[in-house]
Structures are given as structure tokens and as C-alpha cells.
Amino acid sequence: MSAPTTPAPLNPDGSRRTFMKQAGGFLGLALAPPFISQAERLTALSKKVEGVSTISLKVNGAVRAIRAEPRVTLLDALREYLDLTGSKKGCDHGQCGACTVLVDGKRVNSCLTLAVMTQGKEITTIEGLAKGEELHPMQAAFLKHDGFQCGYCTPGQIMSAVACVQEGHAGSADEVREWMSGNLCRCSAYPNITAAILEAKTQMG
């Protein structure tokens, strides 16, 4: 099975995903203004948002613009508009953690976050963790410890785990279990997830 590493491995079952990724990349490029330094506060012009409008999101360091309604969640913006399909939709109601991303360094459930409300903030997704070919220590630890079976919860687990360590809440196995309780794993890989986090913690500096 393929772990959520970056760059994404070629899709073995055909090229649709790959095509979509390229199209998305192309479209994203076409729409994105060269550089937007958007303060958190919206400009007077866009203070009221009705219907489809341009929403600029800074994802993994790059500003990208989408045309979407205010009801579009950050999760849907990432998956359906920006083709960043690493973040997963499990419950869509804040109950499972599969959609966890970092906003300004803090872990949140992107399914209960409106994209329009994250403009001007730094969004980090699973696609933004690795440095080129080099996995983030948390990704490497999940691989080493088999911190997954089906892998569906894994991007959310890893994003949450990175934040958990950064917050200083990974002091012991018990502490990790408590502070990772917002990420459910249907395959119950919990012992391995906990082991991976405790190891990655020592390497995250």
C-alpha cells in the first residue's frame, strides 16, 4: 500500500488521478495572482461574500485562488478545488479527525472550517510535510512502525501527531493517547501510531 508520501507515487490503476492533478495544477496556476499578501482581515471590498467569489488560500507556502461559495469547507476546497486529496473526508462532522490540517500551526478539523475564513492564514496539509524526497520524521516513523493498515486515517493522524509533538503533549504513551483521541482509526492501528509518535518526537528537534 502506498503511504501518503510526497511526491505522490504514480497511480497504478491508470492515469486519471495524475491527469486531474496536472489539470488542477494548471488551473491553479492560471487563477492564482502572482502574489497576494492578504492580511487576515478581508479588504473592505470583499468583507461581504455572496455566491461564488475568489478565495485565496495559502497552502503549503503557495498562495492559490479558487472560485467558490462561502459554504465551501476548507476540506472541500483542498480536495475538490485544489486537488490536494491527501486530507480525507471521514465523517464531515468533526468526529473522526481524518481531515486534520494545520492552520497557523494549530491542528484543526478542516471539515468544520469554512475556506473563506482561512484566508490570510498559513495552511499546512500532508502534502506539505516532506522536503522534496525527504520524508518528515513523523511520516518516516509511521512507515517504520506500521502506523496504519488501510491508510485512510493516516494523513489526519500524521498532521495531528506533528502538532501533538509541537504542543508538547507527547511526553508519554498515555499522554499521546489522550491528546491523539481526536483521530479515530477504524483499523485500530493505535499501538503502532503511539509508538511512531513517541519515536518521531525524539527526532523532531
Partner 1 sequence: MNNFSYIQADKAKEATTAKRDDKSAAFIAGGTTLLDLMKLNVENHDQLIDVNMLPFRGIEMTKNGLRIGALERMSDVGEHPLVVQNFPAVSQSLLLAASAQLRNMASIGGNVLQRTRCGYFRDTAFPCNKREPGTGCPAIEGDNRNLAILGTSDACIATSYPGDLSVALVALDAVLTLENAKGKQREVPITKFYLLPGSTPQKETVLEDDELIVAVTIPQTAAAQKSMYLKVRERTSYAYALASAAVGLEVQGGVIRAAKVALGGVGAQPWRSPEAEKMLVGKAPSEAVFRAAAEAALRGAKPREHNAFKVEMAQNTLVRALSEVAA
Chain contacts with ligand FES (rule: CB under 6 A): 89-92, 94-99, 109, 111, 148-154, 185-187, 189
Residue 8 partner contact from partner 1, ligand FAD, ligand FES, none using kind-dependent CB cut-offs of 5 to 8 Å: none
Measured CA to CA, the distance from residue 176 to residue 160 in angstroms comes to 11
- For residue 123, the cross-strand partners are 59, 103
Between 91 and 187, whose beta carbon lies closer to partner 1? Answer: 91
User: What whole-number distance in Å separates Cα of residue 137 and Cα of residue 203?
Assistant: 6
DSSP H or E run through 197: helix 190-203
Q: What is the CA radius of gyration of the chain?
A: 17
Contacts with partner 1, 71-110, as mask; x by CB under 8 A? x-x------------------xxx--x--x-----xxxx-
Q: How far is Cα 57 from Cα 42, in angstroms, rounded to an integer? A: 12
Cell readout for 24 is: 488542477
Q: Which does 17 bind (CB under 5 to 8 A by kind): ligand FES, partner 1, ligand FAD, none?
A: none
Smallest separation, CB 96 to ligand FES (Å):
3
One-letter amino acid for residue 30 of the chain:
A
Residue 107: CB atoms within 10 Å = 23
Q: Taking the complex as a whole, how short is the minimal distance between the CB of residue 96 and ligand FAD, in angstroms? A: 9
Out of ligand FES, partner 1, ligand FAD, none, which partner does residue 113 contact, by CB within 5 to 8 A per kind?
A: partner 1
Find the shortest distance in angstroms from Cβ 121 to partner 1: 11
User: Smaller CB distance to partner 1: residue 180 or 196?
Assistant: 180
What single-letter DSSP state applies at residue 73? B
